[in-house]
């Protein structure tokens, strides 16, 4: 299977930046059609092992790394994704497989024997890495996302904020699971594209005096460990 990497760049913003860039994007880009009032709520459950492999690779800036997570949107547990994010320097790719709520809960509870015969390669890969690397559900990450899309270059610009951590809580499907703000309040802009980034979009997302960052929502949500 051909690996198709996408370019990914992240920037910290303040609220003034957000309002200014959002207004510019709205004149050119389209909101993601899956949003509600231009945004959606994301809940993810990240996996790591006892040695914090995924966390350490991110903090140490390992050039080739991966992480697994389970994710749903706007509280809708009828549509859950298992995702593997792989990074190679500033390039990223993502693989996905659908899970039922029951399957997600079984994984959370450590009931994994069914995964090997699931017929879904990514589910099978997670099973193998849970068995041999010791991956386990680690923490819940909640946040709000405002996404914009642009056809040429398959560009996606997102604003993420109100990032919250479940600490050691892995009760992923429980709508009443308690999460708390993850450190200082951060606004993160992510710009993703395929082969090229249109100069139009490049100009729209300019942030004077702000450099790209290697910020990780998973890492910041482990701040209290």
18-32, 109-123, 126-140, 195-209, range with the lowest pLDDT = 195-209
Instruction: Name residues whose C-beta falls within 8 Å of residue 153's C-beta, 6 or more positions apart in sequence.
Output: 193, 194, 195, 196, 197, 198, 201
* 135: exposed, middle or buried (Cβ count in 10 Å: 0-12, 13-18, 19+): buried
CATH number of 6-220: 3.20.100.30
Give pTM, 2 decimals: 0.93
Instruction: Name residues whose C-beta falls within 8 Å of residue 22's C-beta, 6 or more positions apart in sequence.
Output: 146, 159
5-19, 97-111, 121-135, range with the lowest pLDDT = 5-19
pLDDT tens-place string over residues 23-33: 999 999 998 98
Is residue 2 predicted with pLDDT exceeding 60? no
Give the number of other Cβ atoms within 10 Å of residue 146's Cβ: 21
- Domain chopping of the chain, boundaries: 6-220
pLDDT of residue 61: 84
pLDDT tens-place string over residues 172-193: 999 999 999 998 889 999 999 9
């Amino acid at each position: 299977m051909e690996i198709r990497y996408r370019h990914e760049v992240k920037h910290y913003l303040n609220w003034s930046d957000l309002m200014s860039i959002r207004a510019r994007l709205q004149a050119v880009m389209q909101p993601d059609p899956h949003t509600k009032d231009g945004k959606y709520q994301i809940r993810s459950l990240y996996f790591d092992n006892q040695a914090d492999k995924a966390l350490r690779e991110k903090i140490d800036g390992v050039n080739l790394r991966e992480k697994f997570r389970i994710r749903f949107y706007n509280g809708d547990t009828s549509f859950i994704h298992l995702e593997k994010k792989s990074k190679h320097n500033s390039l990223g790719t993502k693989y996905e497989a659908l899970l039922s709520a029951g399957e997600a809960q079984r994984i959370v509870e450590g009931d994994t024997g069914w995964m090997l015969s699931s017929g879904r390669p990514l589910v099978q890969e997670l099973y193998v890495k849970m068995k041999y690397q010791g991956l386990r559900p680690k923490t819940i990450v909640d946040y709000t996302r405002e996404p914009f899309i642009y056809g040429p270059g398959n560009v996606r610009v997102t604003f993420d904020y109100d990032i919250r951590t479940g600490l050691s809580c892995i009760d992923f499907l429980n709508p009443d699971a308690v999460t708390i703000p993850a450190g200082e309040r951060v606004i993160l802009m992510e710009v993703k594209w395929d082969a090229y980034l249109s100069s139009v979009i490049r100009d729209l997302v300019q942030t004077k005096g702000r450099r790209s960052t290697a910020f990780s929502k998973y890492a910041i949500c482990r701040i209290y460990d």
